[in-house]
Structure 1
Amino acid sequence: MSGFAGFALDRAFGHPRGLLGALGGALMACGNAAAERQVVRLARLTGAEQVLVIGPGPGIGLLAAGERADRVVAIEPSQRMRHAAERRCAALRNVTVLDGTAEATGQPDASFDVVLSVNNIQLWPDRTAALAELRRVLRPGGVLLLSTHERWLPGGRAGLHADVRTAGFVEVQTWAWQPPSRGTTQAQTRATRP
């Protein structure tokens, strides 16, 4: 997408900032909450896991993960959303919010048990590089859980499934999930690092 529409979408959702970023953050907090909580449920966290959250936005899913995991690191490219996520999770000492992207997390090799991402895959400039990075930071046996608006997902569910397999993940499962509220259908994928 180019021109003003692309600029506005990036300012509201890709790298939220300014007035459009404030509006985008409010919409994300409301519209993504069900998918965020669903992905955390699917992770089946027991309290012992090290979790990486890619693009937590205003922190709804980050808070849910932080309440269930041993340690959670969030990687967020938007300063506005980092601050919002930090405020939402301020009472949790096990949550850290850092600047970065899915393609460049800045995290050590094999340092996480679970990686979660909700409604930002369509914004990754290089999905191949991002999936390689997420595989790198997962421990062997670690779980990748992705969820995104199906209608805005380049390549659709089949493309996401194929990309995750090509990145070297195994036990790849991809399905459609409809939020209980009026949210859009989500393409969700669960995979394991061998």
Structure 2
Amino acid sequence: MAHDEIIDHYSALARAAAAGQEVTDCGRDAFEQGGFGAAGYADLQALPEQAVRASLGCGNPVAVAEVRRGDTVLDLGSGGGLDVLLSARRTGPHGKVYGLDAAADMLALARRNAEQAGVRNVSFLHGTIERVPLPDRSVDVVLSNCVINLSGDKAAVLTEAFRVLRAGGRFCVSDVVVEGAPGPATRAAAEERIGCVAGALPVAEYRRLLSAAGFVGVRVTPAADHGGGVRSAIVQATKPAAPPEVEIRPMRAGDADQVLAIYQAGLDTGQASFETRAPAWAGFTSARLPGLRYVACDTGTGQVLGWVAASAVSSRPVYAGVVEHSVYVHPGCQAHGVGRALLAAFVAAAEDAGVWTIQSGVFPENAASLALHRALGFRVVGTRERVGRHHGTWRDVLLVERRSTVTGT
């Protein structure tokens, strides 16, 4: 369905729920057997009947989102407000929950439900999930329940979710996904049954878009099976943790000058690499994997404070999960936790990408780098003695390695 058709459809369902009518988003049998609506909830006591009746989701994201006291929560496509009200219970009076919906009738219904429930720490916003009307880094948790599959620009939705989350914030949604590659006829049959398959993403594409937005720790946990490779699933991910006023995000072409300046500053110390001159941007980017490069930025100024990136160690398939990485921090920002945050985000992203071994070479004299790597689970696996001349001196290199306990075990 087109955007306006989706709004009209859900507005009509909101009006039906407000009138006390039975509400389903597909045939009654498919709705109940697929676990849609309020079927996945066990904590609906004292909630308005209209909020429960207007629940059209495909799971219970609140149950696994670890909403904490004092959290700020955003529900994308909040409908009649069921997940907003449940989250408000968990955040307590010092927390805040926002419900965002594009359908004015759904917002009116949700506001009435919140008033009837006596819930004060909630606000309902009119807008689209592709353009969230909240400031950067303003929420701790992003929820959604069977709504992202309806969007025509899912990359924009996930980019917005990343933008509004604070460092360490959690993304937890229920959604319909596709496993494997069902043909058009299979997808059409599933859509006829449950009504929301046309825009459902394959699991691998969901993972890719979350990683591209900057999320790490991506998990897709299948739930109800709707047949033909179509399932409901809980999709979870995390925005990388960072020190105060710092954000870890994917490296962009616009970061080139700052990234290369930090690189050169590290080389000038004489302890970072055998290299003495940072390459031009074309050489830098062509030598590094596109999906495993991050920067740490000052959230106030946008200044790049450090970066991490990786290169493949070999083109042979047997080494597909082995990479060599580098991490550099601006000289004025060292010993502030920036390097640790970058490396932790990189390790999580590498495991999401199926990397089982991360390796690098470190000069023995670079005590800070060795300490950082040991803190993140790296170990020294050997010494290459007098392996190269640097500024006229033969130098040893320690080989450090981190073997994943998640991937390739």
1:80 partnered with 2:105? yes
1:155 partnered with 2:201? yes
Structure 1: state its 5+ residue gaps. Answer: none
Higher relative contact order (CA closer than 8 Å, sequence separation 6+) = 1
SS at structure 1 position matched to 2:78: coil
The residue aligned with 1:174 is 220
1:97 partnered with 2:94? no
Shift, 1:8, TM fit = 5.8
Alignment check: 8 A CA contact 1:58 1:84 kept:
yes
Alignment check: 8 A CA contact 2:59 2:145 kept:
no
The residue aligned with 1:56 is 78
Q: Distance in 2 between matches of 1:37 and 1:46?
A: 20
Shift, 1:75, TM fit = 0.8
Alignment check: 8 A CA contact 2:88 2:121 kept:
yes
Shift, 1:123, TM fit = 1.5
The residue aligned with 1:186 is 232
1:32 partnered with 2:57? no
Q: Distance in 2 between matches of 1:37 and 1:123?
A: 16
1:22 partnered with 2:9? no
With 42-51 and 90-99 compared, the bigger mean Cα shift is at 42-51
With 80-89 and 30-39 compared, the bigger mean Cα shift is at 30-39
The residue aligned with 1:45 is 67
1:140 partnered with 2:164? no
How many aligned residue pairs are there? Answer: 183
Residues 148 and 136 (structure 1), Cα distance of their counterparts in 2 relative to 1, 3 Å cut: same
Alignment check: 8 A CA contact 1:145 1:188 kept:
yes
C-alpha offsets along residues 98-122 of structure 1, whole Å, 9 cap, x if unaligned? 1011111110110100000111111
With 145-154 and 75-84 compared, the bigger mean Cα shift is at 145-154
Give RMSD over aligned pairs: 2.7
TM norm structure 1: 0.83
Shift, 1:67, TM fit = 1.2
Residues 32 and 150 (structure 1), Cα distance of their counterparts in 2 relative to 1, 3 Å cut: farther
With 151-160 and 123-132 compared, the bigger mean Cα shift is at 151-160
Name the larger-Rg structure: 2
1:126 partnered with 2:133? no
Percent identical among aligned pairs is: 30
The code of the aligned residue for 1:106 comes to P
The code of the aligned residue for 2:166 comes to R
Shift, 1:10, TM fit = 5.0
Structure 2: state its 5+ residue gaps. Answer: 26-31, 41-56, 179-196, 241-409
1:110 partnered with 2:132? no
Shift, 1:45, TM fit = 1.7
The code of the aligned residue for 1:81 comes to M
Q: Distance in 2 between matches of 1:20 and 1:43?
A: 27
With 87-96 and 33-42 compared, the bigger mean Cα shift is at 33-42
The residue aligned with 2:261 is none
Structure number with higher helix proportion = 1
Shift, 1:143, TM fit = 0.3
Shift, 1:170, TM fit = 0.5
